[in-house]
Every structure is written in C-alpha cells, then in structure tokens.
Amino acid sequence: MIGRREFITLLGGAAAAWPLAARGQQPTMPVIGFLGTATPSAWHQWTPAFVQRLRELGWIEGRTITIEYRWAEGRDEHCTEIMAEFIRLRVNVIVTGGAALPAARQATSVVPIVFPVAGDPVGSGFVASLARPGGNITGLSTQARDLGGKRLELLREVVSGLRRLAIMANVGYPSALLEMDEVRAAARTLGIEVAILEIWRADEIAPAFETLKGRAEALYVPADPLVNSNRIRINTLAQGARLPTMYGFREYVEAGGLVSYGPNIPDLFRRTGDYVDKILRGAKPADLPVEQPTKYDFVINLTTAKVLGLEIPPTLLARADEVIE
C-alpha cells in the first residue's frame, strides 16, 4: 500500500521524467536542402526573400526547420556532388533551379524538388505540364523563351537603328540555348544581323569579346549561373567595347548592365516559400501546378547609358519600373 506522500512523490517524479521521454520520441525538424547555382553574394537578394516567407508561414530557421545551404559557384559538376550529399542527409525537400535541376532529377525521383526559377520546365522535360507537373518536381517558371522578342523590341528603342546584334550564351545551359534561338528568330524577322558568342566557361568570356570588334552595336545575354557569377566582368567588358547590353533580370543592370526586362526574382523566391510550406504539410509536388511570374521589371541604368554616350528616350524612361542613376 502506497501512502499519499509516496504517491505524490512518484507522480512528481513521473511528471519530471515525462517531458524527457517525450522529447526523445519527437520527430526531428524538417530539413531543407537549398542549393544555389551561383555564389551567396550573387543570390544575396533572393535567398532572404525565401527565408522571410518561410518565417511568415511559421517555419523559423533553427527552431522549426533546418536549412542546409550549399553553393555550386556556377560549376555544374558541383551540383551532382551536392545532390548526393542532400540524399545522404535525408532532406525533406530540395530547393534549387536552373543548371542544378538535371542533377536534382537524376539524384532522386522521391524527394520533393522545388525550383524558384526555370526558363522552360516543360520544354526542358522537368515537368509534364505547367498545370499538372506529374512527378516530384514543381516550382516557378520564368517563361524565358516568351520574353526574348519583347526584350529585343525594347533594345531597338534604346539603340535606334539597331542592325547588328551579338548574343552571348552559355551553350551548355539548355534554357539559354532556347532563349538564344528565340531572339535570333525575332532578329531575323526584323532584319537584324546576329553574331553568336558561344561560351562554356568563365575564361572564354574575355576572348569572346575580342572576336566582336566592329561586328555588333548591342549585346543580348541570356541568363544562366555562369553568366550570373560573372555579370560584373561581362558588364565591364561590354562598356569597354561600347556595347549596350540587354538582360532578363534587374540584378544584371544593378551590376552595370544597361537594360533588363523580366520577372522579379526576389518575388519568385518568396513564392517558393509557399510551395515548401505546402509540401512540408503533406502536399505532393505532382499536384502543385507550376506558376508563372506576376511581377515584371523594366530597369534602365542611366549611369551606364552616360558611360556609353547613349541618350535614352524620355518616353522609355517614363515606362521603366526603375531608373538607376
């Protein structure tokens, strides 16, 4: 027979021990494998937008989730190694895009993969359709191919009488190739001659500019991780060659390019947080439609225009979402 005092003592001991036992049985925090295809500095405006949205949805880094950050630094071979590491770590979801998607798809058909940015996910074979992705991959498409003609039209307004265009593209990046083909087709219909500068590595950028002397009046550069990591260098060389530049993202213009027109990338990364939230709460990537951009930015760098001796038409400045001075 246990006395009242002994019973209370036992109960108190059980109460003290219970949280420790329960804590041992609680599941560990979900882990997100976050692979940036470039460098942390190149994504410094994008990554925080993703993390902030997760926080708003109740996923706080270090408290309710763990984020394993890795950076490929523009080198495709790093993507394969990092994906293998993510699989070993048993991450719950992988966030990556662009050049890392082939490595991600090859690494797993089970772990959910969310891309913040993909130029043409259907054409590249990552999803069956935008409405029904069908596998373990979903995310946000920039629809890069659809915008090439629009960018060329804007570039013609900036460079009056444009007749000779150079396109510098990383030909090892499928989305850049698709965009290059679209711009070349649009240029053909407008009677614009096109010189193609094919690059595979960073050390081919400067020699590519050397071959351009006197052959072009403007430069169009499709985005990819290699170009992203070297955007300041490309802009410096373009200014030295007196070439106005057109890009798809504002970050390139902030780094000294002349003009950009394309999706607002921080907004896409922010919306990526919504996908991850739904997946961590049980949704399947196959059932989450690929969404398209809702915000587009037209950005002009007036400082670069002055360096190039270009007068930007006031009507064009009035249409810009941002003018950098």
**Dihedral pair phi/psi, residue 155, rounded to 5°:** -65, -35
Taking alpha carbons only, the member of 128, 132, 91, 130 closest to residue 113 is 91
Taking alpha carbons only, the member of 138, 116, 121, 118 closest to residue 49 is 116
Per-residue pLDDT tens over the stretch 210-250: 998 889 999 999 988 889 889 999 999 999 999 999 999 99
- The per-residue pLDDT for 120 is 81
Strand order of the β-sheet with 164-170 is: 193-199, 164-170, 218-220, 245-247, 259-263, 296-301, 322-324
Average pLDDT over residues 163-187: 92
CATH of range 144-263+297-324; options 3.40.50.620, 2.60.120.10, 3.40.50.2300, 3.50.50.60: 3.40.50.2300
- The per-residue pLDDT for 115 is 97
- The per-residue pLDDT for 229 is 85
The CA dihedral of 60, 63, 64, 69, to the nearest 10 degrees, is 70
| Domain residue limits, the chain | 31-141+265-294, 144-263+297-324
Indicate the range of 101-105, 211-215, 255-259 predicted with least confidence: 211-215
Q: Is 31-141+265-294's fold the same as 144-263+297-324's? A: yes
What letter represents residue 1's amino acid?
A: M
pLDDT at 128 over 90: yes
The CATH architecture of the domain made up of 31-141+265-294 is 3-Layer(aba) Sandwich (3.40)
Per-residue pLDDT tens over the stretch 25-48: 445 899 999 999 888 988 888 999
Q: Please report which confidence band the pLDDT of residue 75 belongs to, taking 50, 70 and 90 as the band edges.
A: confident
- The per-residue pLDDT for 16 is 41
| SS3 category, 221 | coil
Indicate the range of 7-21, 240-254, 258-272 predicted with least confidence: 7-21
pLDDT at 165 over 90: yes
Q: Please report which confidence band the pLDDT of residue 133 belongs to, taking 50, 70 and 90 as the band edges.
A: very high
Q: Which residue has the higher pLDDT, 65 or 27?
A: 65
- The per-residue pLDDT for 27 is 56
pLDDT at 13 over 50: no
CA 200/CA 43 separation, integer angstroms: 21
pLDDT, averaged across the chain: 89
Taking alpha carbons only, the member of 44, 29, 84 closest to residue 269 is 44
pLDDT at 181 over 80: yes
